[in-house]
Amino acid sequence: MSVGLVIVTHGSTGESLIEEAGFVLGQLPEEIFTVAFNHATDMEGSLQLVRSCMEQADSGEGVLVLTDLIGASPSNLVGEMLEDYHAVMVTGANLSMLICACNYRGKPLEMMVRKVVESGKRSVKIFQK
């Protein structure tokens, strides 16, 4: 068993992250659910889709939900339902975080979340001439 992964982002960002993680890892990560949030769709429909993905992803070890932008609709939507699940949301999703999550899926949820956040922080750097 492993921690479930759900990515909730604006548009197809989540699907692109999974595709690129597959390229880096040499194979597509297994059983990652994505919700492509679209402001033009019905909010209740998006809420049900996120719930369905979280339920499918949870094998009993909990669920990590990655969202793209704190305070935006995807993270607000997930935030409203977290108390109903053994789940943790991490915002600011990037490729480094997803690769780390894939590598730590067999670890306890709390450890995985710490590693994912550390990875995300380490991957943001400023370079200038």
- A 10 A CB-CB count for 51 gives 16
Average pLDDT in the 121-129 region? 95
Instruction: Please give the torsion angle defined by the CA atoms of residues 66, 4, 87 and 51, in that order, rounded to the nearest 10 degrees.
Output: 80
pLDDT for 98 equals 97
The DSSP string of 52-75 is HHHHHH-SSS-EEEEESSTTSHHH
pLDDT for 43 equals 79
**More reliable by pLDDT, 29 or 103:** 103
* pLDDT one-digit tens code per residue, 71-101: 998 999 999 999 999 999 999 999 999 999 9
Domain at 4-122, CATH from 1.10.150.110, 3.90.180.10, 3.40.50.10150, 3.40.50.510: 3.40.50.510
87 beta partners: 63
Q: Where are the domains of the chain?
A: 4-122
pLDDT for 20 equals 96
